[in-house]
Each structure stands twice: as C-alpha cells, then as structure tokens.
Amino acid sequence: MRRIRLYHLAKELGISNRELLRFLKELGVEVKSHSSTIDEETAQAVRDLVEEERRGRKKAPERAPRPKPSPDKESPPPKPRREEKRILKFSSPPTVAQLAEAMGMDGADLVAELFRSGIVAPLTQTLEWDIAERIASEHGYTLLREEEVEAVKKEEAPKEAEEGRLVPVPPVVTVLGHVDHGKTTLLDAIRNTNVADQEVGGITQSIGAYEVEIEGRKITFIDTPGHEAFTAMRARGARVTHLVVLVVAADDGVMPQTVEAINHARAAGVPIIVAINKIGKPEANIERTMRQLAEQGLIPEEWGGETVCVPISALKKQNLDTLLEMILLVADLLEIKADPTGPAEGTVIESKKDPTRGPVATVIVQKGTLKVGDWVVVGDTYGRVRALLDWQGKPVREAGPSKPVEVVGLEEVPRAGDKLRAVGSRREALELAERAKEERGARAPAGVSLESLAAGEERELRLVVKASTQGAVEAARKALEQLDSEEIGIRVIHAGVGDVNESDVMLASASRGMVVGFGVGVDPAARRAAEGEGVSIRTYDVIYDLIDDIEAAMLGMLEPEVVEETLGKAEVRALFKTGRYKVAAGCFVTEGRLVRGKLIRVWRDGKAIWEGTLSSLRRFKDDVNEVMAGLECGVAVEGFDDFKVGDIIECFDRKEVRRTELTRKRAPLPEGR
C-alpha cells in the first residue's frame, strides 16, 4: 500500500505541519519523527477531518466507519489514566470507627476484619499508626498525617504550576558546516539582509543570533563561524540549540569541518537537517554528497533513512521555503515549550568589551523573561541590566524564551557558554558570582585523563582522535575500538586529520573526554583551551605507544582477579578430643604443606563440606607454623568439629592478581541462532 510523508500531506491539504499533527492526534496516530509516513487509509481519514472542519461542521455525518489508522509502526496501547490518589489524613492515629468512616465502610465489618487478622479492637480503640496504614493500604487508600499532606502539596504544587505555565516557544536553530559552504549566505537569504559582505573576507568572524518570522511563527538562528580559528564557539552554540541545520556544498561534499559539525551536534543530542547548498553550480553533485552523508550515519529520507536533506541554493533563494517548513515540522514534533514567567535563565553565546558600552554579552533566553533593571549573575560575574538590544540593534524592554538579545550592564566580560540567571538583589548577585569564582577555581577538570581512568573514576573513555593522514586516522580508530571491552567502553566521538585544535578540545570538554594525537602537533590555542577546560591531550609518534598507554590505563582500573593457590593436602587418620576446639584431627600431610592461618577446605566423598581458616596446627605438643609433606600433625579449627577419618584437608591461599587482559565484547549472534 502506498505511504505518504507527513509534510507532503500537509502541503497537499494546504495546512501547516502543526495542524496536521493535531489532526493525527485526534485520530490516535502517534508520530515519532519528522520522516514518519502514514498509509493511504489514514491519509484519507485526515482529509475527511480537514474537510469537515472547513465546512464548519461540529459533528461528522453518518457514514462508513473511518478506517483504523496504521502508522509506521504498530501504535502502542493507550496509556492508562493515572488514578487519582485516595488519601486519608489524620492529625493523630485514628480509632477503628474513625478509620471505617473515612474508608466508607461499616464499623462492625472493620472490627471483624481486624479480628480475622488477629487484632481484637472495639470501635473506640485507637489503632497503632502502622496497623492503620496497613489496613488503609489494603483498601486502596494512603494514610498520611496532616503535616505530611501539606508537605506533599507544597512539593507537587510548583511542578504542577510550572507545567501549567509552559507555552510553545520558537525553536533555536544552529547553522553548522564547513568553511565557505554558505552558512551566512543562507541566513542572509532568509533574513533578506546583507550580512556576508560586511564580514572580513566573506567569512563570519563572530557568533550572531538572529530572529526570522515565517507565516506568523518565529525561528531563532545562531550563525556559527566557519573559520578554523573560531570552531570552539561552535560547540557552545550547539549546547543551547533545539536542532541543527548542517550546510553542505554540493560541489565540495562532506569536508573535515562537516564531520566536526556532525559530531558536535551528536554530542549535544540534537536533530540534524541537512541543507545541500550550491546546487546551481555546474560541478554540483547531490548524489555524491548524499552518499558521503550516509557514510557519516546521516541516511537521507530518499534512501530509507530519517535525515531530511533539502537541496537549496542560498544565493538564488531556491527551495528555502521547503527548508523552513522542515525546520518548523521538526520543531513541532519536539514540542518545544518553556515557562515565560518568573526570573530569566539563559546562555551566553558570545561576549565582548565594547569601547563605549563596556562588557556586552549575546544571550539566548531559555526560561522566564529578562527585563531591563534585572540583577543578573552570568558565570562568575554579575551586573544590572542597563539595556537590552534585539538582533537588529533596537532597544527592547524585555526578552522571553528563545529570544536572542545583547545584554549591557555587566561588571566583567563573561565567557561564551556561561549561564545567565536573574536574581532578586545586588547582594544576592554578588554573593553568587563570588561563589562561582571560588567553585570555578576548585572545579574538577571537565575532561578525563588516563590517570583518572586508571583510578577507576570512569567506566567509558570518550576520545577525540587526530592523526596526520586519513589512513592513520582509520588505523588509530580501528585499533582503539578493538580495545572496547565489557568492563570499560571506548567511544571515538570524533576523528580527523590535522593538528589538535581548539575545536577538538571543546568537543572533548563537552563530552567529558580526552584528545589523543598520532603524528600531529597541538596548536597554541588548543593548549590554552585545554588548560582552561581541564582536558587532557596526549600525542604519540608510534601508534603502539598510544594503544599500550590506553590499554594499560584500562587494565589498571579493572578489579583484580582473585586466584587460588593450593599449598598442600592432608588426610585425616584419627580424631582427638581437646578442651578448646572439642575435636582435633590427627592428619598425615600427603603433599605440599599445611600452614597455620591459611584457608582450608574439608573434602568428604569428593565434595567440599566446609571452608575456613586453619586455627591450630601442632606437631606432637608443640604449636608450629607449618608442616611439610610426609609428616604427621594435629589440626583444629574454629567453628567446625565434624571431622571424620578419611576426610581430605586442602590448604590454600587466595591472592589478588592484576588483570592482564580485557574481556572483549562478544559479537551478537545472528537472529535465529
């Protein structure tokens, strides 16, 4: 049966993606991704609903039953409605009569029920609290003291109130991609302004945040720099975004920074929409570009995957409406909401010191509403908002969720990625900023090192791998992934060619990982960033040194293996009564030696019947530390006196031995095996 994609159906019906999702919800169809498809019967049911609404009918005319919708996958059964809590509250333990009345049952029935459970209690008797709780629970009630009820109300009220205040907000979209693939030109085309020509060399030199309005709905775009020197800000941009638009030029295809951008988006856990740009150029090859994207795990919809790929020409403004539709569709499926009331919270995406205005921070508000006059804490600095400017430089009095604004009035320049929070007073702002400074000085490193791995602080090693050639990258990656074990995981979050740069450090920091280089250098900016972020960078000239270091660290954090070493054996040939141990065994050492204080195991008829410590070992009347093979001795132990003639006593020691091998992960068996 023919299936149809959601956004194609929305376009056919002339409705928005959000409206289509509403109709599907009415039909009970659960949509899990922007690339979901529905069958023709379900599509026809949607068409009928749309037609009914357009005719202004409140009820559908009688007709054949509407076919049951069939989404991509079998819809899960409807979730049961949460039962309302039945709570009984008392200021003190209740009497039998009070509890019966509260539960709506006859007092005599409760007296009889208590009697059957072994409790004799008349109607006037006060029940112990735990008994009353148990009886109430058996009847489906929760028994609480009045003060507990108030505590529960106070705890649940803020959550319920916050959920009630959540409203849909514009999506924040980060535009990522390789240098000169057309990111700023794309935003320029969407905004109908001309920013690209104002940038040095046509390459964006600082993060810009912009708002656009499409059919009455707003989208906030973050334009990240494409130049290598500014890739560190890209990771910070991805942390505040709801989804990523990855711009790939159809003539160049997937390039090193394209792979970096994909890994940054994955590390941030955000959906990716691909804009295949420059399709009007003679050398453009969309098929090759899609194949390269598939190699990076972004399988296009056209090939059965879930990645939306939209061919565009930013210069000619071709297919931009389709790209914007896809952004809004994904945003609708994400159900992006925030609470616009209360103190503001947000994230700094860029900061600078303006010669006339002082410290200025570009902030994306994520919660609440930021207002002129608010006292704010931003990282380890603070200030009072003297002015708010929108993306066009126009003054505004306030900014709600997803709105980008420039904040003027801070004491110092904050760092990109710092959190902004509005507070009630200057004193509170100053105290929180001072505390943040102290915490930043004492904060544990964001990354992970081989030393912390060996100390057992981590159970997964996340690596950014750099090498001098693509062949070396693949060799290092393959060798590292072969170290992946059942006890400790290894995940290569990014692998690329070239020296270690600041972007590599920022990605490792965001992922709590480390950077390893094979046959490459480390640029100065990366070293400074690593010191600031606490990220470990290790470089090697020989791949085996890299593997040996990491394997040694992984082995060092494994729990030692406990092995047994048999010291000797003896046969019980006689039994003696003693004062302290009741029974002692007269033994003949058949092999090795028996050692006092070591472990022994008593064997009878081929089965081990007891294990413990050899407490007493004697030769004739003398206490000795050990007895060698071929000699007789007396053996006694604490807690065991059931020796029998013919028992074998095994003396052994347990030792912890450092692991020398990792337990490799087993490949999954094929289905049906």
Which ranges of 482-518 would DSSP assign to H, the alpha helix?
502-510
Pick the last residue of a domain from 143, 164, 185.
164
Contacting residues for 54 by C-beta, under 8 A, at least 6 apart: none
> Number of C-alpha atoms within 13 angstroms, CB side, residue 155?
6
Tally of CB atoms within 10 A around 61:
7
Please, which residues have CB within 8 angstroms of residue 545's CB and are 6 or more apart in sequence? Answer: none
Residue after which a domain boundary falls, among 402, 418, 441: 441
What's the rounded Cα separation, in Å, for the pair 6 and 32? 11
Side-chain-facing half-sphere of 332: CA atoms under 13 Å: 21
Q: Specify whether 324 is located in the same domain as 206.
A: yes
148's tokens: 């507990």
Classify residue 538: in a domain, yes or no.
yes
DSSP code of residue 179: T
CA distance 340 to 370: 9
Total-model pTM: 0.55
CB 637 within 8 A of CB 612: yes
* Type and span of the H or E element at 478: helix 470-481
199, containing H or E segment: none
Based on the domain organization, do 242 and 188 belong to the same domain?
yes
Q: What range defines the domain where residue 23 resides? A: 1-78
- Helices marked H in 225-347: 232-239, 256-268, 286-295, 320-334
Q: How far is Cα 133 from Cα 89, in angstroms, rounded to an integer? A: 11
Shared-domain flag, residues 149 and 196:
no
| Residue 393, phi-psi category: left (phi > 0), alpha (psi -120 to 50), beta (remainder) | left
Nearest to 105 by CA among 136, 67, 131: 136
Residue 665 domain-assigned?
A: no
Smallest Cα–Cα separation from 405: which of 205, 211, 196, 171? 211
Indicate the burial class of 102 (C-beta count within 10 angstroms; 0-12, 13-18, 19 or more).
middle
318 contact partners, CB below 8 Å, separation of at least 6: 279, 280, 312
Q: Are residues 36 and 105 in the same domain?
A: no
Please provide the DSSP assignment of 343-358 as one string. S-EEEEEEEEEETTTE
Nearest to 382 by CA among 463, 437, 340, 308: 437
Say if CB 230 and CB 181 are below 8 A apart.
no
Is 299 within the bounds of a domain? yes
**180, 186 Cβ separation under 8 angstroms:** no
Residue 432's alpha-carbon distances to 373, 409, 437, in angstroms, are: 18, 17, 9
Domain holding 431: CATH number? 2.40.30.10
State residue 518's pLDDT score.
87
- Distance, in Å, from the CA atom of 93 to the CA atom of 5, rounded to the nearest integer, reads 62
Q: Which residue is it, tokens 């009970």?
A: 28
| Whole-number Å distance between alpha carbons of 178 and 203 | 11
Q: How many domains does the chain have?
A: 6
CA distance linking residue 29 with residue 49, whole number of Å: 14
- Looking at the fold, whether 15 and 94 belong to one and the same domain comes out as no
Q: In 139-201, which ranges are continuous DSSP H helix? A: 146-165, 183-191
- Give the pLDDT means over successive 10-residue stretches in the chain (673 positions): 74 78 79 70 82 65 44 39 60 84 83 73 79 84 69 51 77 85 84 51 54 85 53 49 90 87 78 92 92 91 85 90 88 87 87 86 92 92 93 90 92 84 92 81 52 56 84 80 76 86 84 86 90 87 81 70 89 85 88 93 92 90 92 90 92 82 52 40
Give me the amino acid identity at 470.
Q
Virtual torsion, Cα 5, 11, 14, 18, nearest 10 deg: 60
Exposed/middle/buried for residue 425 (C-beta within 10 Å: 0-12, 13-18, 19+):
exposed
Tokens 């094929």 correspond to 670
Q: Is there a single domain that holds both residue 279 and residue 356?
A: no
| Structural domain includes residue 664 | no
Q: Is residue 428 part of a domain?
A: yes
Rounded to whole angstroms, the Cα distance separating 504 from 501 reads 5
Counting every residue, how long is the chain?
673
DSSP 307: B
Exposure on the CB side of residue 496, measured as CA atoms within 13 A:
22
SS3 672: coil
Instruction: Please choose, from the candidates 90, 168, 76, the residue with its C-alpha nearest in 3D space to the C-alpha of residue 127.
Output: 90
The rounded distance, in Å, linking the Cα atoms of 363 and 405 is 5
Residue 135: inside a domain, yes or no? Answer: yes
Coil, helix or strand at residue 65: coil
Note the pLDDT of residue 225. Answer: 53
For position 35, what pLDDT does the model report?
60
CB atoms within 10 A of CB 167: 11
- d(C-alpha 157, C-alpha 151), whole Å: 10
Separation between Cα atoms, residue 475 and residue 595, nearest integer Å: 53
Q: Which of 77, 70, 416 is nearest to 222 (CA)?
A: 416
In a domain, 673, yes or no: no
- In angstroms, the CA 464 to CA 582 distance is 67
Q: Which residue has the tokens 């959601």?
A: 6
Confirm if 240 and 364 have CB atoms less than 8 A apart: yes
Q: Please, are residues 22 and 45 in contact by the beta-carbon 8 Å criterion?
A: no
Tell me which amino acid residue 550 is: I
Cα(292)–Cα(279) distance, rounded to whole angstroms? 16
Take residue 196 and report the two structure tokens written for it.
């690209």
* 3-class state of residue 628 by DSSP: strand
Residue pair 309/276 in contact by the 8 Å Cβ criterion: yes
Beta-strand (E) ranges in 67-145? 87-90, 142-145
Shared domain for 539 and 572, answered yes or no, is no
Name the DSSP class of 617.
Answer: E
Query: Do 432 and 494 sit in the same domain of this protein?
Result: no
How many Å separate Cα 214 from the centre of its chain? 32
541 lies in a domain?
yes
For residue 300, what is the domain's CATH number?
Answer: 3.40.50.300
| Residue listed under structure tokens 């100065």 | 524
Reduce the DSSP state of residue 278 to 3 states and report it.
coil
CATH number of 496's domain: 3.40.50.10050
Indicate the residue among 19, 49, 78 that finishes a domain: 78
Mark whether 522 and 386 lie in a shared domain: no
Task: Supply the DSSP symbol for 629.
Answer: T
Same domain, 182 and 325: yes
Do residue 401 and residue 550 come from a single domain?
no
Gap between the Cα atoms of 29 and 69, Å rounded: 7
Q: Are 127 and 92 in contact (CB under 8 A)?
A: no
| Residues 462 and 533 grouped into a single domain | yes
